[in-house]
Protein backbone atom coordinates (compact mmCIF):
# COMPACT_ATOMS: atom_id res chain seq x y z
CA UNK A 1 0.00 0.00 0.00
CA UNK A 2 1.25 3.50 -0.90
CA UNK A 3 0.80 6.23 1.65
CA UNK A 4 1.41 9.92 1.96
CA UNK A 5 0.91 12.54 4.62
CA UNK A 6 0.34 16.22 4.02
CA UNK A 7 0.38 19.28 6.27
CA UNK A 8 -0.90 19.24 9.84
CA UNK A 9 -4.67 19.61 9.90
CA UNK A 10 -6.36 22.77 11.13
CA UNK A 11 -8.26 21.41 14.14
CA UNK A 12 -11.14 23.83 13.51
CA UNK A 13 -11.97 22.68 9.97
CA UNK A 14 -14.23 19.73 9.08
CA UNK A 15 -12.74 16.92 6.97
CA UNK A 16 -13.73 15.30 3.69
CA UNK A 17 -12.84 11.91 2.16
CA UNK A 18 -12.69 11.09 -1.53
CA UNK A 19 -12.16 7.58 -2.97
CA UNK A 20 -11.39 6.61 -6.56
CA UNK A 21 -11.98 2.97 -7.53
CA UNK A 22 -9.64 2.60 -10.49
CA UNK A 23 -8.68 -0.22 -12.82
CA UNK A 24 -5.74 -1.40 -10.72
CA UNK A 25 -6.11 0.35 -7.36
CA UNK A 26 -8.27 2.31 -4.96
CA UNK A 27 -6.96 5.80 -4.20
CA UNK A 28 -8.23 7.77 -1.20
CA UNK A 29 -7.49 11.34 -0.15
CA UNK A 30 -8.32 13.12 3.10
CA UNK A 31 -8.70 16.89 2.93
CA UNK A 32 -9.96 19.64 5.14
CA UNK A 33 -12.80 21.87 3.95
CA UNK A 34 -10.27 24.51 2.91
CA UNK A 35 -8.81 22.12 0.33
CA UNK A 36 -5.59 21.19 2.14
CA UNK A 37 -4.50 17.61 1.43
CA UNK A 38 -3.83 15.89 4.75
CA UNK A 39 -3.22 12.27 3.70
CA UNK A 40 -3.51 9.90 0.76
CA UNK A 41 -3.47 6.13 0.49
CA UNK A 42 -3.39 3.69 -2.43
CA UNK A 43 -4.34 0.01 -2.23
CA UNK A 44 -3.82 -2.13 -5.34
CA UNK A 45 -6.23 -4.89 -6.24
CA UNK A 46 -5.48 -7.87 -8.49
CA UNK A 47 -6.61 -8.04 -12.10
CA UNK A 48 -7.31 -11.67 -12.95
CA UNK A 49 -6.68 -13.05 -16.44
CA UNK A 50 -8.23 -16.54 -16.52
CA UNK A 51 -7.91 -16.69 -20.34
CA UNK A 52 -6.07 -14.71 -23.02
CA UNK A 53 -7.72 -11.30 -23.58
CA UNK A 54 -9.82 -11.69 -20.42
CA UNK A 55 -9.53 -9.27 -17.48
CA UNK A 56 -11.69 -9.50 -14.33
CA UNK A 57 -11.96 -8.02 -10.87
CA UNK A 58 -13.53 -9.29 -7.68
CA UNK A 59 -15.96 -6.47 -6.69
CA UNK A 60 -15.28 -7.15 -3.02
CA UNK A 61 -11.62 -6.23 -3.62
CA UNK A 62 -12.85 -2.73 -4.45
CA UNK A 63 -14.75 -2.48 -1.17
CA UNK A 64 -11.81 -3.83 0.82
CA UNK A 65 -9.60 -1.24 -0.88
CA UNK A 66 -11.96 1.57 0.12
CA UNK A 67 -12.06 0.39 3.74
CA UNK A 68 -8.29 -0.10 3.95
CA UNK A 69 -7.35 3.25 2.39
CA UNK A 70 -9.87 5.23 4.43
CA UNK A 71 -8.58 3.73 7.68
CA UNK A 72 -5.00 4.30 6.57
CA UNK A 73 -5.56 7.94 5.59
CA UNK A 74 -7.20 8.69 8.94
CA UNK A 75 -4.31 7.04 10.78
CA UNK A 76 -1.65 8.87 8.75
CA UNK A 77 -3.25 12.25 9.43
CA UNK A 78 -3.78 11.36 13.11
CA UNK A 79 -7.22 13.01 13.14
CA UNK A 80 -10.43 12.23 14.98
CA UNK A 81 -12.76 10.37 12.55
CA UNK A 82 -15.67 12.28 14.09
CA UNK A 83 -14.41 15.38 12.24
CA UNK A 84 -15.17 13.79 8.87
CA UNK A 85 -18.42 15.29 7.57
CA UNK A 86 -18.81 13.53 4.19
CA UNK A 87 -17.36 10.89 1.85
CA UNK A 88 -17.69 10.43 -1.90
CA UNK A 89 -16.63 7.74 -4.38
CA UNK A 90 -15.83 7.95 -8.10
CA UNK A 91 -14.95 5.01 -10.31
CA UNK A 92 -14.36 3.56 -13.74
CA UNK A 93 -17.63 3.38 -15.64
CA UNK A 94 -17.73 0.28 -17.83
CA UNK A 95 -17.50 -2.67 -15.36
CA UNK A 96 -20.81 -3.99 -14.05
CA UNK A 97 -21.67 -6.14 -11.07
CA UNK A 98 -24.57 -8.62 -11.12
CA UNK A 99 -25.91 -8.92 -7.57
CA UNK A 100 -28.59 -11.16 -6.09
CA UNK A 101 -31.43 -10.12 -3.80
CA UNK A 102 -29.02 -9.80 -0.85
CA UNK A 103 -26.60 -7.67 -2.87
CA UNK A 104 -23.96 -10.39 -3.20
CA UNK A 105 -21.95 -10.44 -6.47
CA UNK A 106 -22.82 -13.41 -8.68
CA UNK A 107 -19.84 -13.24 -11.05
CA UNK A 108 -16.49 -11.49 -11.35
CA UNK A 109 -16.76 -8.03 -12.89
CA UNK A 110 -15.43 -7.79 -16.45
CA UNK A 111 -12.90 -4.98 -16.81
CA UNK A 112 -13.07 -2.35 -19.54
CA UNK A 113 -9.63 -3.62 -20.64
CA UNK A 114 -11.14 -7.08 -21.36
CA UNK A 115 -11.56 -7.99 -25.05
CA UNK A 116 -13.83 -11.05 -24.95
CA UNK A 117 -16.91 -9.13 -26.13
CA UNK A 118 -15.95 -8.43 -29.74
CA UNK A 119 -18.86 -10.56 -31.02
CA UNK A 120 -21.32 -8.74 -28.78
CA UNK A 121 -20.08 -5.36 -29.99
CA UNK A 122 -20.54 -6.50 -33.59
CA UNK A 123 -24.11 -7.65 -32.85
CA UNK A 124 -24.95 -4.33 -31.22
CA UNK A 125 -23.70 -2.40 -34.26
CA UNK A 126 -25.51 -4.68 -36.72
CA UNK A 127 -28.80 -4.33 -34.89
CA UNK A 128 -28.86 -0.58 -34.17
CA UNK A 129 -26.17 0.98 -36.34
CA UNK A 130 -22.91 2.59 -35.28
CA UNK A 131 -23.85 6.18 -36.07
CA UNK A 132 -27.24 5.91 -34.36
CA UNK A 133 -25.61 4.53 -31.23
CA UNK A 134 -23.03 7.32 -31.14
CA UNK A 135 -25.73 9.94 -31.71
CA UNK A 136 -27.97 8.46 -29.00
CA UNK A 137 -25.44 7.52 -26.32
CA UNK A 138 -22.40 9.68 -27.07
CA UNK A 139 -20.29 6.49 -26.94
CA UNK A 140 -18.56 4.53 -29.68
CA UNK A 141 -19.89 0.92 -29.66
CA UNK A 142 -16.74 -1.08 -28.93
CA UNK A 143 -15.86 -4.15 -26.84
CA UNK A 144 -15.52 -3.31 -23.17
CA UNK A 145 -18.65 -1.20 -22.79
CA UNK A 146 -21.25 -2.24 -20.21
CA UNK A 147 -23.87 -3.41 -22.71
CA UNK A 148 -21.44 -5.80 -24.39
CA UNK A 149 -20.49 -7.18 -20.95
CA UNK A 150 -24.15 -7.82 -20.12
CA UNK A 151 -24.81 -9.58 -23.42
CA UNK A 152 -21.78 -11.81 -22.87
CA UNK A 153 -22.83 -12.65 -19.29
CA UNK A 154 -26.36 -13.51 -20.36
CA UNK A 155 -25.06 -15.80 -23.09
CA UNK A 156 -22.28 -17.53 -21.16
CA UNK A 157 -23.51 -17.41 -17.55
CA UNK A 158 -27.30 -17.80 -17.86
CA UNK A 159 -27.78 -19.03 -14.28
CA UNK A 160 -26.14 -15.92 -12.82
CA UNK A 161 -28.13 -13.77 -15.25
CA UNK A 162 -31.43 -15.28 -14.10
CA UNK A 163 -30.53 -14.81 -10.44
CA UNK A 164 -29.42 -11.20 -10.82
CA UNK A 165 -31.70 -8.77 -8.99
CA UNK A 166 -29.71 -5.64 -9.76
CA UNK A 167 -27.07 -4.56 -12.30
CA UNK A 168 -24.68 -2.05 -10.72
CA UNK A 169 -21.71 -0.08 -11.97
CA UNK A 170 -18.50 -0.31 -9.93
CA UNK A 171 -19.12 2.96 -8.08
CA UNK A 172 -22.73 2.08 -7.42
CA UNK A 173 -21.76 -1.28 -5.95
CA UNK A 174 -19.54 0.56 -3.46
CA UNK A 175 -22.33 3.04 -2.70
CA UNK A 176 -24.64 0.08 -2.02
CA UNK A 177 -22.06 -1.47 0.32
CA UNK A 178 -21.72 1.84 2.16
CA UNK A 179 -25.36 2.90 2.39
CA UNK A 180 -27.71 0.17 1.13
CA UNK A 181 -28.93 2.52 -1.64
CA UNK A 182 -29.50 1.18 -5.15
CA UNK A 183 -29.01 4.19 -7.42
CA UNK A 184 -26.65 5.89 -9.85
CA UNK A 185 -25.83 9.41 -11.01
CA UNK A 186 -26.15 10.93 -14.52
CA UNK A 187 -22.42 10.60 -15.36
CA UNK A 188 -21.70 6.96 -14.48
CA UNK A 189 -23.87 5.42 -17.27
CA UNK A 190 -21.94 7.45 -19.84
CA UNK A 191 -19.89 4.43 -20.98
CA UNK A 192 -22.66 1.87 -20.62
CA UNK A 193 -23.89 2.17 -24.24
CA UNK A 194 -27.41 2.18 -22.74
CA UNK A 195 -27.79 5.86 -21.84
CA UNK A 196 -30.07 8.21 -23.75
CA UNK A 197 -27.67 11.15 -23.59
CA UNK A 198 -30.23 13.83 -24.42
CA UNK A 199 -32.85 12.64 -21.98
CA UNK A 200 -30.40 11.70 -19.24
CA UNK A 201 -32.10 8.35 -18.69
CA UNK A 202 -31.71 4.70 -19.65
CA UNK A 203 -32.58 4.24 -23.32
CA UNK A 204 -35.79 2.25 -23.71
CA UNK A 205 -34.96 1.65 -27.39
CA UNK A 206 -31.58 0.09 -26.63
CA UNK A 207 -32.72 -1.90 -23.61
CA UNK A 208 -35.77 -3.24 -25.47
CA UNK A 209 -33.65 -4.17 -28.50
CA UNK A 210 -31.49 -6.40 -26.32
CA UNK A 211 -34.09 -7.43 -23.73
CA UNK A 212 -32.34 -5.67 -20.84
CA UNK A 213 -34.84 -5.11 -18.03
CA UNK A 214 -34.54 -1.43 -17.06
CA UNK A 215 -35.94 -2.30 -13.64
CA UNK A 216 -32.71 -4.20 -12.96
CA UNK A 217 -30.58 -1.16 -13.75
CA UNK A 218 -29.87 1.31 -10.95
CA UNK A 219 -32.25 4.29 -11.24
CA UNK A 220 -30.54 7.51 -12.30
CA UNK A 221 -31.14 9.81 -9.35
CA UNK A 222 -28.89 12.17 -7.42
CA UNK A 223 -26.18 14.25 -9.03
CA UNK A 224 -22.60 13.46 -7.95
CA UNK A 225 -22.42 16.12 -5.22
CA UNK A 226 -25.80 15.28 -3.68
CA UNK A 227 -26.25 12.97 -0.70
CA UNK A 228 -27.42 9.47 -1.69
CA UNK A 229 -27.58 8.05 1.84
CA UNK A 230 -25.73 7.66 5.12
CA UNK A 231 -23.07 5.24 6.22
CA UNK A 232 -24.48 2.00 7.63
CA UNK A 233 -23.32 0.61 10.96
CA UNK A 234 -21.46 -2.27 9.31
CA UNK A 235 -19.70 -0.03 6.79
CA UNK A 236 -18.86 2.50 9.54
CA UNK A 237 -17.11 -0.23 11.48
CA UNK A 238 -15.21 -1.41 8.40
CA UNK A 239 -14.03 2.10 7.48
CA UNK A 240 -13.48 3.42 10.99
CA UNK A 241 -15.95 6.28 10.53
CA UNK A 242 -19.04 7.50 12.39
CA UNK A 243 -22.36 5.80 11.64
CA UNK A 244 -24.79 7.91 9.60
CA UNK A 245 -21.99 9.87 7.90
CA UNK A 246 -23.43 11.53 4.74
CA UNK A 247 -22.31 9.79 1.55
CA UNK A 248 -22.35 11.81 -1.67
CA UNK A 249 -23.54 10.02 -4.80
CA UNK A 250 -20.21 10.44 -6.59
CA UNK A 251 -19.76 9.86 -10.29
CA UNK A 252 -17.58 8.98 -13.26
CA UNK A 253 -13.82 9.14 -12.81
CA UNK A 254 -13.11 11.13 -15.99
CA UNK A 255 -15.80 13.70 -15.29
CA UNK A 256 -14.60 14.08 -11.71
CA UNK A 257 -10.99 14.49 -12.88
CA UNK A 258 -11.97 17.24 -15.31
CA UNK A 259 -13.93 19.04 -12.60
CA UNK A 260 -11.09 18.72 -10.10
CA UNK A 261 -8.60 20.08 -12.64
CA UNK A 262 -10.85 23.05 -13.35
CA UNK A 263 -11.58 22.10 -16.99
CA UNK A 264 -15.20 23.22 -16.82
CA UNK A 265 -15.53 25.64 -19.74
CA UNK A 266 -16.22 24.66 -23.34
CA UNK A 267 -12.92 23.87 -25.07
CA UNK A 268 -10.83 23.54 -21.88
CA UNK A 269 -8.77 20.33 -21.69
CA UNK A 270 -7.70 18.12 -18.80
CA UNK A 271 -4.91 15.62 -19.55
CA UNK A 272 -4.87 12.39 -17.52
CA UNK A 273 -2.57 9.41 -17.20
CA UNK A 274 -3.29 6.03 -15.65
CA UNK A 275 -4.11 2.61 -17.07
CA UNK A 276 -5.08 4.63 -20.14
CA UNK A 277 -3.77 8.07 -21.02
CA UNK A 278 -6.58 10.39 -22.06
CA UNK A 279 -7.75 13.91 -22.48
CA UNK A 280 -11.11 15.32 -21.48
CA UNK A 281 -12.47 18.37 -23.24
CA UNK A 282 -15.39 20.52 -22.13
CA UNK A 283 -18.20 20.34 -24.68
CA UNK A 284 -21.71 21.61 -25.05
CA UNK A 285 -24.08 18.99 -23.71
CA UNK A 286 -26.20 17.10 -26.23
CA UNK A 287 -29.73 18.43 -26.22
CA UNK A 288 -33.03 16.62 -26.32
CA UNK A 289 -34.54 16.57 -29.77
CA UNK A 290 -37.54 18.87 -30.09
CA UNK A 291 -39.87 19.94 -32.87
CA UNK A 292 -40.05 23.45 -31.43
CA UNK A 293 -37.59 26.35 -31.71
CA UNK A 294 -34.14 25.78 -30.22
CA UNK A 295 -32.68 28.20 -27.70
CA UNK A 296 -28.97 28.80 -27.31
CA UNK A 297 -27.90 28.19 -23.74
CA UNK A 298 -24.51 27.25 -22.26
CA UNK A 299 -25.13 23.64 -21.18
CA UNK A 300 -21.87 21.73 -20.74
CA UNK A 301 -20.73 18.11 -20.79
CA UNK A 302 -17.41 16.38 -21.40
CA UNK A 303 -15.74 14.68 -24.36
CA UNK A 304 -13.13 12.03 -23.57
CA UNK A 305 -10.51 10.34 -25.79
CA UNK A 306 -8.50 7.39 -24.47
CA UNK A 307 -5.18 5.90 -25.57
CA UNK A 308 -4.16 2.41 -24.49
CA UNK A 309 -0.97 0.41 -24.95
CA UNK A 310 2.77 1.03 -25.13
CA UNK A 311 2.57 4.17 -27.27
CA UNK A 312 -0.38 5.80 -25.53
CA UNK A 313 1.63 8.84 -24.36
CA UNK A 314 2.90 9.48 -27.89
CA UNK A 315 -0.63 9.15 -29.24
CA UNK A 316 -1.93 11.59 -26.63
CA UNK A 317 0.71 14.19 -27.43
CA UNK A 318 0.08 13.79 -31.16
CA UNK A 319 -3.67 14.25 -30.74
CA UNK A 320 -3.24 17.36 -28.63
CA UNK A 321 -0.72 18.81 -31.09
CA UNK A 322 -3.07 18.16 -34.01
CA UNK A 323 -5.96 19.78 -32.20
CA UNK A 324 -3.85 22.82 -31.34
CA UNK A 325 -2.77 23.15 -35.00
CA UNK A 326 -6.40 23.05 -36.21
CA UNK A 327 -7.46 25.84 -33.88
CA UNK A 328 -4.52 28.21 -34.24
Comparing 43-52, 56-65, 150-159, 266-275, which segment has the lowest mean pLDDT? 266-275
Query: Quick one: angle between helices 146-156 and 118-128, nearest 10?
Result: 110
Quick one: average pLDDT of 31-57?
Answer: 97
Distance CA 198, CA 244 (A): 35
- Helix, strand or coil, per DSSP, at residue 151: helix
Q: Rg of the chain's alpha carbons, rounded to an integer?
A: 20
- Helix, strand or coil, per DSSP, at residue 308: coil
- Helix, strand or coil, per DSSP, at residue 124: helix
pLDDT of residue 271: 75
Quick one: average pLDDT of 15-25?
Answer: 97
User: What's the CATH number for 2-251?
Assistant: 3.30.420.40
pLDDT of residue 288: 43
Does the structure show a pLDDT above 70 at 201?
yes
Strands (E) located in the chain:
2-5, 15-21, 25-32, 37-44, 56-57, 84-91, 96-99, 109-110, 166-169, 195-196, 201-202, 227-230, 246-248, 269-272, 277-284, 300-307
Q: Quick: pLDDT tens for 260-282.
A: 878 778 878 777 666 666 666 66
pLDDT of residue 131: 97
pLDDT of residue 277: 61
Band of pLDDT at residue 219, cut at 50, 70 and 90:
very high
Distance CA 191, CA 144 (A): 9
Quick one: average pLDDT of 25-29?
Answer: 97
Task: Look over the chain and give the mean of its residue pLDDT values, rounded to a whole number.
Answer: 87
Taking the mean position of all CA atoms in its chain, how far away is CA 25? 13
pLDDT of residue 25: 97
Quick one: average pLDDT of 178-202?
Answer: 97
Q: Bigger pLDDT: 310 or 166?
A: 166
pLDDT of residue 177: 98
The proportion of the chain whose per-residue pLDDT surpasses 90, expressed as a percent, equals: 73
Band of pLDDT at residue 300, cut at 50, 70 and 90:
very low
Q: What are the residue ranges spanned by the domains of the chain? A: 2-251, 263-288+297-326
Band of pLDDT at residue 254, cut at 50, 70 and 90:
confident
Quick one: average pLDDT of 87-94?
Answer: 96
Distance CA 18, CA 13 (A): 16
Quick one: average pLDDT of 15-35?
Answer: 97
Our CA angle for 190, 94, 244, nearest 5°, is 85
Distance CA 118, CA 250 (A): 30
DSSP assignment of 268-301, as one string? Answer: -EEEE-SSSEEEEEEEEPP----SS-------EE
Band of pLDDT at residue 303, cut at 50, 70 and 90:
low
Beta partners for residue 37, in sequence order = 31
Q: Quick: pLDDT tens for 157-188.
A: 999 999 999 999 999 999 999 999 999 999 99
Amino acid sequence: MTRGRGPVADPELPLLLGCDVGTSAVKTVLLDSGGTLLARRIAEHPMRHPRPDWAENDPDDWYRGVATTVRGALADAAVDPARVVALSVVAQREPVVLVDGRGAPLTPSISWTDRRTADEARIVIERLGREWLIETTGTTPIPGTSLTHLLWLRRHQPDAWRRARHILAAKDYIVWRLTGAIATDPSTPGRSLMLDLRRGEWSHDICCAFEIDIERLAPIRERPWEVVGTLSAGAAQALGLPTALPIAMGGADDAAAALGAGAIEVGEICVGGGTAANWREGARRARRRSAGPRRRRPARGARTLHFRGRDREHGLVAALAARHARHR
